[in-house]
Structure 1
Amino acid sequence: MKKKRLLPLLLAGTLLLTACGNGDSGSSEASVDNSGSAAVSGESGNGSGETSGAGEENGSGESFTITMMQELFTDQAPDTTNQWYQKMEEMTGVKMEVNFVPTLSYVDKITAFIASKSLPMVFTANGNVLRNNNLLMALDSDGFWALDDYIKDYPELYNFVGEQVWENSKVHGKIYGIPRLRILPRNGLIIRQDWLDALNLEMPETFDELYEVAKAFTENDPDGNGQNDTVGIVTAYQGVGNRGWNGFQTLATAFGAPNGWAYQDGTMVPDFGTQEYMTALKYIKKLYDDGYMNKDFAEINAQARYENFDKGTYGMVFGVIDDVNARNVNLPQVVEGAVATVVPALHEEGKEPRCNATAGYNGIIMFTKFGDEAIKTEEDLRKILSYYNTLATQEIQDMTLYGIEGVHYEVKDGKRELIMNESSNSAQLTVDMGDIGQILMSAAYMRKDSDTEIQTALYDTIEEREAYCVTDASIGLESETYDDVGSDLDAIMMDAAVKFVIGSIDEDGYWKEYDNWLKRGGEDVIKEFTAQYEEYKK
């Protein structure tokens, strides 16, 4: 079998390239234009830790050293001799010896280290690494520790990640790493609250209410300038990687379709092959025909749809809901007094909401079993898992969010305020931590003392949506047929959806395109998915 990852696992590593508003004091996931690696070793503390960590578990009272490797997204690796690193070692009983590798050369470095059997104990595997054939062959040769028999012994860690994300992150049916968490119910609509207020409208929650708001935003002059220059909704429909947030899949899942794929009646079923998906297409077509969404939805890219919203022309935008923070930075610069917020999970009248969930993670933290620097024994593996269990505690999460009082934050009026670095526009905590957040593990989002009303509302909405998440059943599955002709198959159904919405084909024409998809390889993809699902997930 070809050792490649199918699209769903690819998406797990690429859907969330923008910042997640998760309080991760490491870097954003952006590329840097350099190569090579910078090896950095942390300094040893006294191991007297305030929180039970790996050193204490062994009863030695000494720091346990963990060799690590992760991507470097900034120009310079952090100085791991500073107070933050020393305090972390003191609290956990673990000395971090980290090799920071620039992101542009990271996959090549992984490949080289696999070949030379010199991977460190722990390393981050992003989406590209998880698709690397060398890594997958090493995995199939028992080169990495499977964690299935261990993780429930570490309740802080297990509960921190959550059962669904552990399940989503499996490779070949096993847990080979700790997921780097991202928001599960992330896809949705951002809306102009000031326009709702101006037109005396309630926040839409049902499809009928959403349509009426889109109509009012288009026809009732919400910006009050006396001109017919506003439109209800803007979105972009380019690329398979956009399906999760471009509105089509969000609406289809809310109407009852699978989130990507579902296992039903003994077979895997794609969302675009269901009547519920067609219902969503008809709804989108009505918005399109009536002029309540952008006519160029199939032509503009993801960046352009946000740029258009930020100009103040549109009342709603499909995207990822945590981008509401950026909208509230950009939009008021153009429209004074503009306020963006998040639309609740949509539903049909009388039915519960359904949210098309993301995979809930972006890459995993893996544990090496072969080579000179590997984790040789179960005892050492448990020490490392104990360390990550400690990282999941609130005390350590606060260290990644606020740092040390007097060094990284001050308490004012009962709230912690980050101290800024004098020579940069960044918080001192960000400067001290650097990119280490990629391998230390952090929550998908964390509430902070400095949260605005909008941020608080966002986190409230996320927590409300979690009860309505619908998981893509194909996450982590493989298909040789899709590896070979997947781009052609994707194009057939994406083009069919666009053609239906703009009126180039009718419903019969759409189902003819679906039949074409089946004949061109879709039937084999379904069979291969079904076999994989029944082997690894059923």
Structure 2
Amino acid sequence: MRKSKLIGAGLLVSSLVLTGCSSGPAGSNAKQDPDATLELWTRTTPGGPGEKATLKLVAGFEKATGKKVEVTAIFDDFETKLQQRAAQKNLPDIVLNDVTQLGAMHSQGLVREIDLKKIKSSGDIAPQGLASGKGPDAKQYGIPYSAQASALLIRKDWREKLGLKAPADWDDFAAMAKKFTTGDPDGNGKSDTHGLAAPLSTKRGYASWYFSNFLWAAGGDFITEVGRGSYRPAMTTPQSVEAVQWFRDLGCKDKTIQPGAVTMDSPPTNETFEAGKTGMFVVGPYLLPRFDETLGKDKYEVVPMPKGPMDSTVLAEGGSVYLMAGSENEAGQDDFADFVVSVDGQKLGMEGETGYLVQLPVNRKVDISEVRSDPRWKTYAEIYESSARYAPSIPNWTPVRQTTADTINALVADCGLDTKAELKELDGKLKGILDEQGIAAS
């Protein structure tokens, strides 16, 4: 999971950006130069595979359009440095960042509205992807270029040894988790395996991030939109309570979640799966290269999530192109956004075994199997197309995720807590967050 640290209303930064021009919306009066070099910031480790993949994509753009782009990779203190540039009224032209950053960047006045008529390939973008780039006012402020969705990884060798089929629903899922925990699937004669790997730490909201794949499949929600841009807490609905109780029972009653899950984020949880301590893991495609190397491609399989009480909706995430306010080359910004989501740009971004920029294509005209022959990637792409859902684009999603993570973590950590009472208290906290952001339904 990639999460941002940008929080708060950012009123000072917003005012600085909005006053960067003499009048009108941010960036609307900047003197235009269609030949000006574009400055692009990408939130990734300098010198790492993400930067190299970005440079490769940029080279393709430059060759196709003749326009020039300067790339800067920043990971540490990315948001702080972006705010510093905003204070100087000198934002980069383009930013590649998490899709979950839209609300914060829009509320701070850092991004400009995107005219989809100028993005020729926008009509080919998956609807849920395009919707992820809309702000509370229903205007477009981001263009997704890479997507990811969750699927279920299963120890295939364990499943076959125990004579099990891939789970079709939650009952099957719970039963497989129990068998993997009690049936000695690795054959070592010890009780040292567990059914499900789950990062349930409160750190950066991991527990909420992971649990969303189950909450939404039950028809539950963290918050529910009521009218355009207004929300109410939803963790006490019957569907949400059912999802929480079922998931909690995996740990508290069945004891099928790995020990110490409530203190684990992704890295130690990944290790339980590759070390043969857990048999199922709900996660995105980015771990396939790692697990192929450490565990062995023949030892595990990728399948869609089993159907929950409502459906099999899973979490969608990814990266978006943001066109920053105040640019002197808006035409170049538009051209870059269009290239990234075009068929050629998407295929170029997917090239490479590990150093790729695009995980799953957002352009529906792109068949991922034409670039990656591994059928597991096709499975992920099909899940994204049919079952994936993004978190809502509210001004600041971080406190919602963190607050819900605190409660989910506590309920799994302390099996004596009352589920409904804790969720009622959580809804009260969520109401406060929505009030603070000015988006609470009346």
For Structure 1 versus Structure 2, the TM-score category normalised by the shorter chain is: 0.7 to 0.9
Check if 1:524 corresponds to 2:432: yes
- Once the two structures are TM-superposed, the CA of residue 463 in structure 1 deviates from its matched residue by 0.8
Deviation of the 1:232 alpha carbon: 1.7
Number of equivalences: 404
Match of 1:196 in 2: 159
Partner of 1:514: 423
Residues 287-317 of structure 1: CA deviation (Å, up to 9, x unaligned): 3323333243223332212111211122112
Matched ranges for 1:295-334 at <5 A: 295-332=259-296
Aligned counterpart, 1:89: 62
Q: 1:222 to 1:265 in 2, by over 3 A?
A: same
Could you give the per-residue CA deviations for residues 152-188 of structure 1, whole angstroms, max 9, x where no partner exists? 453413423x3323322334523233334322xx234
Q: Secondary structure at the match of 1:237?
A: coil
Q: Quick one: which amino acid aligns to residue 503 of structure 1?
A: C
* Overall identity of the aligned pairs, in %: 16
Equivalent residue letter for 1:361: G
Check conservation: 2:36, 2:328, Cα contact below 8 A: no
Partner of 2:306: helix, strand, or coil? coil
SS of the equivalent of 1:95 reads: coil
RMSD: 4.3
The answer (yes or no) to whether the contact 1:169–1:476 under 8 Å persists in 2 is: no
Counterpart code for 1:209: D
| Aligned counterpart for 2:188 among listed residues 225, 229, 234 | 225
In structure 2, the residue matched to 1:68 is 39
1:64 CA displacement: 4.3
- Amino acid paired to 2:246: Y
Residue 100 of structure 1 pairs with residue 14 of structure 2: no
1:242 corresponds, among 206, 226, 229, to 206
* Equivalence for 1:366: 323
Offset, 1:456:
1.3
The answer as to 2:339 corresponding to 1:339 is no
2:311 and 2:51 map into 1 onto residues whose CA distance is: 44
Counterpart of 2:361 in structure 1 is 443
Counterpart position of 2:178: 215
Residue 195 to residue 70, structure 1, CA distance change in 2 (3 Å): same
Give 3-state SS (helix, strand or coil) of 1:104's partner. Answer: coil
- The aligned counterpart of 2:116 is 151
In structure 1, what is the Cα distance between the partners aligned to 2:38 and 2:367? 27
Q: CA distance change for structure 1 residues 399 and 249 in 2, over 3 Å: closer, same or farther?
A: closer
Closer, same or farther: CA 270–458 of 1 in aligned 2, 3 Å = farther
- For 1:287 and 1:78, the matched residues in 2 are separated by 40
**What are the within-5 Å matches in structure 2 for residues 420-439 of structure 1?**
none
The match for 2:408 is 494
| Match of residue 117 from structure 1 | 89
| CA drift at 1:361 | 3.3
Query: How does the TM-score come out when normalised to structure 2?
Result: 0.74
**Alpha-carbon distance in structure 2 between the residues aligned to 1:83 and 1:245:** 31
Structure 2 distance, partners of 1:177, 1:316, is 34
- Separation in 1 of the partners of 2:267 and 2:336? 39
The answer on 1:273 being equivalent to 2:236 is: yes
Matching residue of 2:344: 395
Distance in 2, Cα, partners of 1:303 & 1:78 = 22
Call closer, same or farther: CA 1:338–1:14 in 2, change over 3 Å: farther
Q: 1:532 to 1:341 in 2, by over 3 A?
A: same
The residue type equivalent to 1:163 in the other structure is: P
Give structure 1 stretches of 5+ with no counterpart. 1-10, 16-62, 376-380, 403-417, 419-425
Q: Which has the higher contact order (CA 8 A, sep 6+)?
A: 2
How far apart are the structure 2 equivalents of 1:355 and 1:211? 18
Distance 1:84 1:467 in 2: 28
| TM-score, length of structure 1 as denominator length | 0.62
Residues 102 and 133 in structure 2, CA contact (< 8 A), matched pair in contact too: no
Q: CA deviation at 1:244?
A: 5.0
Return the letter of the residue paired with 2:282.
Answer: F
Cα offsets for 1:429-460 (capped at 9, x unmatched): x6xxxx9x69xx993697366746xx412422
Q: 1:204, CA displacement in angstroms?
A: 0.7
Distance 1:264 1:115 in 2: 35
- Greater CA radius of gyration, 1 or 2? 1
